[in-house]
Chains A and B, each alone.
Chain A
Amino acid sequence: MRWFRNRGELGVAGLLLAAGIYVLLDTPTIRITPGQLAIGPRFFPYMVGAFLTLVAAGLIVGVVRSGSARPDTDGEAPAERPGPAAVRVAGIVAVAVVHALLLNLTGYVIAATVLFWGAATLLGARRPVRDGIIALAVASATYALFVWVLQVPLPNGPFGGDV
């Protein structure tokens, strides 16, 4: 078990290898325009695919032999954030997805308030009401800065622009 814990990087290296093989296999499907003088649109992808595959192989060998380079600096720090790490990360990604889905439904200010509040809570903020007020303030200020000062359009949602 410990051997594997020190070698989680194999997962990333495996993905890299898969990406390299995908590039090599998909490159022949790129269309070539007739009358190509020298190298066409397939040459460079072949190079990149080969490079990725080689580097991934090198990385896999390196990790299997000597483990990850990851320094464990967390130590015995007191836990200030809720739940296990994987749950916090998944939670933040989920909040971000909700944010993206809310954007065109409720407009920017509400979507960003939800995002800020959710992320802050997952990262260890402890006072829901105060956090909510700060989230609303940040979202409103961002909206004002981008829409009114920089004139970058953002979705208004059903309540119009004045939240």
Chain B
Amino acid sequence: MTGLEGLLHGFTEAWTWTNLMYAFLGVFVGTLVGVLPGIGPALTVALLLPMTYTLDASASLIMFAGIYYGAMYGGSTTSILLNTPGESGSIITAIDGNKMARAGRGAAALATAAIGSFVAGTIATTVLAFAAPTVAALAVKLGPADYFALMILAFITVGSLLGSSMVRGFASMGVGLLIGLVGVEQVSGQTRFTLGLPQLNDGIEIVVVIVGLFAIGEVLYTATRKGGRVRITPIRGRAWMTRDEFRRSWKPWLRGTAIGFPFGAVPAGGSEIPTFISYTLERRLSKRKEEFGKGAIEGVAGPEAANNANAAGVLVPLLTLGIPTSATAAVILVAFQQYGLQPGPQLLDTEPDLVWSLIASLFIGNLLLLVLNLPLVGMWVRLLHIPQPYLYAGILTFALLGAYTVNNATFDIFLMLIVGALGMAMRWFGWPLAPLVIGAILGPNAEVYLRRALQISTGDPTVLVESPFSITVYVIVILLLGVPFLLHRWEKRTAAAITAASGSPEDESPAVAQKSE
């Protein structure tokens, strides 16, 4: 099926009351958790994984994709009104968005974020629909050695591009790889690193890892802080903007989309980098450079479009190669696997109804999000008034419930607490969390592909660099290992420039809460 046929087919599939309801539920819950500080989309989807035991595949996947998009929307609201980004893709939004809110232009900031997200989401989902069949057709031809190369690429980019330093990204990834080793391995069925515990024979459940890392880690980390009141910038009426603000916004929306999508689509994770690039670009192109850091609408419009386009881009490698490049995509992959479905080049042929109704429901979800966000923003803001002790006690309760329901065993609760303690330490020392998740999920796959490739070649390692595809990928890997240095330098310089421009450094840097993106 081509993109257009598939989309039309998908719309007829998605256009049932049940699927519409799940799309609505998804974006609703997604916005809700995106708004709440401390809960990101990866965690929400992971917490809701027990639903896969009773719901059918298309309903729950439509809902999970809705949560993903919804959380991207909701995150911008927290950034703008609280100056505490709800997820990592919204960190940049907080800089100018919160300044606009304090200057009484919060409604315009929220509107440009919401409409920008809609524009970006719609364009990017269209590109996804047309790119997916093409990428899948190419991916069918890839051998195990090529897949191994792609996974090395994903490891390197996710490990090196996220977090405060490269070595901490790789440390996080190493822990994930170790977690992935535990249990009976898939090729020759040997038990590894179970410490003699029979409960570990099936490996450490990825749900336990993700929920423990994000939820328990966040709760314990919060407990280490002294606490204190957050300042919510009040906003009156609906979110809207003037004609002039609209004129200043539409170009950044389109440029943000163009930057965000490719960064998601290549197996190279992270929604922070495209938002950061978009911000820098808008600042450079603007005639009012001095406004940046003080409430420039372009500084909200561009990055918000970029992070939503990025979310759609991430679905390309997930659906066509089975490679997740963000923590949320990794959890959605787990949801697929709960139904015995393996995302990859064959998925479009074996499950066309599912894939196309999923993509079509993203369009529907995007429209629903615009409707939910523009007039109802006041309702979401009220959620921010839930007292912190209740919010985090609730997260803890749900997280432990999630651990218990995996195998109906208390063993997983203890395991989750250990992972949670690790998550707390990682937050404390500024280690990125996503590399651990990617390492734990992709590690076992990478081993299988490596061993398959070497079995075919009867042990000859040159098979790994035989195809032009794998050679290209390794060249990119080598180049990428140099890029982070440049990006970090660039980031520091821009941050310094922004601080200098606005004058009040303490006020300027938004508290970078580390969230699942």
Binding site for B on A (CB under 8 A): 8-9, 12-13, 16, 19-20, 23, 26, 30-33, 36-41, 43-45, 48, 51-52, 55-56, 58-59, 62, 68-71, 73-74, 77-81, 85, 88-89, 91-93, 96-97, 99-101, 103-104, 108, 112, 115-117, 119-125, 131, 134-135, 138-139, 142, 146, 150-154
A138 to B223, CA, bound (A): 21
| Least Cβ–Cβ distance between A135 and chain B, in angstroms | 7
Least CB separation from A20: chain B residue: B174
Residues of B within 8 A of A96 (CB): 216, 396, 400, 413, 417
Interface residues on B, range: 35 or more
Q: Are B54 and A33 in contact (CB under 8 A)?
A: no
Contacts of B185 in A (CB 8 A): 41
Interfacial chain A residues near B511, Cβ < 8 Å: 73
A119 touching B393 in the complex, CB below 8 Å, given contacts A81-B227, A97-B417, A150-B50: yes
B127 to chain A, nearest CB (A): 35
**Can you name the residue of chain A whose Cβ is closest to the Cβ of B463?**
A38
Q: Are B396 and A30 in contact (CB under 8 A)?
A: no
Whether the Cβ atoms of A44 and B181 lie closer than 8 Å is yes
- In the complex, the answer to whether A38 meets B455 with C-beta atoms within 8 Å is yes
CB-CB contacts of B103-142 with A at 8 A, as 1s and 0s? 0000000000000000000000000000000000000000
- 15 intermolecular pairs with C-beta atoms under 8 Å apart: A26-B193, A39-B450, A41-B192, A48-B178, A52-B175, A52-B178, A58-B167, A89-B224, A92-B396, A100-B414, A104-B410, A115-B396, A125-B389, A142-B398, A152-B53
The answer to whether A85 touches B454 (Cβ under 8 A) is no
**Bound CA–CA A38/B461 (angstroms):** 10
CB neighbors of A among B370-423 (8 A): 387-390, 392-394, 396-398, 400-401, 404-405, 408, 410, 413-414, 417, 421
Given contacts A74-B225, A100-B410, contact A123 B388 (CB under 8 A): yes
Residues of A within 8 A of B421 (CB): 93
The 7 A-B residue pairs whose C-beta atoms are closest, nearest first, are: A38-B454, A77-B228, A80-B227, A125-B389, A120-B393, A123-B389, A119-B393
User: Given A41-B188, A69-B164, A12 and B425 touching (CB < 8 A)?
Assistant: yes
Known: A16-B174, A39-B451, A70-B429. 19 other contacts (CB 8 A): A8-B429, A16-B175, A37-B459, A41-B187, A45-B192, A62-B167, A70-B430, A77-B225, A78-B226, A81-B223, A85-B225, A93-B220, A120-B392, A122-B223, A123-B227, A134-B390, A138-B397, A150-B53, A154-B405
Instruction: Give the complex CA separation of A5 and B9 in angstroms.
Output: 61
Task: For the complex, give the distance between the alpha carbons of A119 and B413 in Å.
Answer: 16
Given the interface contacts A30-B190, A99-B413, does A23 sit within 8 Å of B178 by beta carbon? yes
Contact of B177 among A33, A48, A62, A125 (CB under 8 A): A48
Q: Is the CB of A123 within 8 A of B178?
A: no
Q: How far is the CB of B197 from chain A (nearest CB, A)?
A: 14
Given contacts A77-B226, A77-B228, contact A59 B413 (CB under 8 A): no
- Interface residue? B51 (CB, 8 A): yes
B50 x A135 contact (CB < 8 A): no
Q: How far is the CB of B236 from chain A (nearest CB, A)?
A: 29
Closest B residue to A88 using CB positions? B223
Select A112's contact among B170, B228, B401, beta carbons within 8 Å. Answer: B401
Residue pair B226, A74 in contact (C-beta under 8 Å): yes
Q: For B425, what are the chain A residues with a Cβ–Cβ distance below 8 Å? A: 12
B245 in contact (CB, < 8 A): no
B171 touches A55 (CB 8 A): yes
With beta carbons under 8 angstroms apart, the residue of B181, B191, B401 that contacts A146 is: B401
Q: Which residues in window 215-248 of B have CB below 8 A to A?
A: 216, 219-220, 222-228
B457 interfacial contact with A, CB 8 Å: yes
Report the separation of the CA atoms of residues A70 and B227 in the bound assembly, to the nearest whole angstrom. 18
How distant is A105 from chain B, measured CB to nearest CB, in Å?
A: 11
From A8, A36, A44, A112, give the contact of B397 (CB < 8 A). Answer: A112
In contact, B226 and A151 (Cβ under 8 angstroms): no
Distance between Cα atoms of A63 and B11 in the complex (Å): 54
User: B491 in the interface, Cβ–Cβ < 8 Å?
Assistant: no
Bound-complex Cα distance A69 to B514 (A)? 14
Is B447 an interface position by the 8 A CB rule? yes
B458 contacts chain A at the CB level, 8 A cutoff: yes
- Interface: B294 (CB within 8 A): no
A38 CA to B388 CA in the complex, in Å?
Answer: 55
Query: Which residue in chain A gives the minimum CB-CB distance to B444?
Result: A44
Partner of A92, one of B177, B193, B219: B219
> Do the beta carbons of A12 and B429 come within 8 Å of each other?
yes
User: Which residues does chain B contribute within 8 Å of A101, judged by CB atoms?
Assistant: 410
Q: How many angstroms from the CA of A85 to the CA of B427 in the assembled complex?
A: 15
| Chain A residues in 8 Å Cβ range of B408 | 153
Bound form: Cα–Cα A50–B428 in Å: 26
B365 at the interface (CB under 8 A from A): no
Q: Is B168 an interface residue (CB 8 A)?
A: yes
CB distance from A127 to the nearest CB of B (A): 10
In B142-190, the 8 Å CB interface with A consists of 164-165, 167-168, 170-171, 174-175, 177-178, 181, 185, 187-190
Contact B413 A69 (CB under 8 A): no
- Judge whether B35 is part of the interface by a CB distance below 8 angstroms: no
Beyond A38-B457, A74-B225, A139-B397, is A119–B219 a contact (Cβ under 8 Å)?
A: yes
Given contacts A23-B181, A36-B188, contact A150 B430 (CB under 8 A): no
Give CA–CA (A88, B385) in the complex, Å. 23
Check A123–B430 contact: CB distance below 8 A: no
Q: Which residues of chain A are within 8 angstroms of B426 by Cβ–Cβ distance? A: 12
Q: A69 contacts B424, CB within 8 Å?
A: no
Q: Does B85 contact A (CB under 8 A)?
A: no
Report B-chain residues with C-beta under 8 Å of the C-beta of A74.
Answer: 225-226
The closest CB in chain B to the CB of A78 belongs to B228
Contacting residue for B389 out of A43, A79, A124, CB 8 A: A124
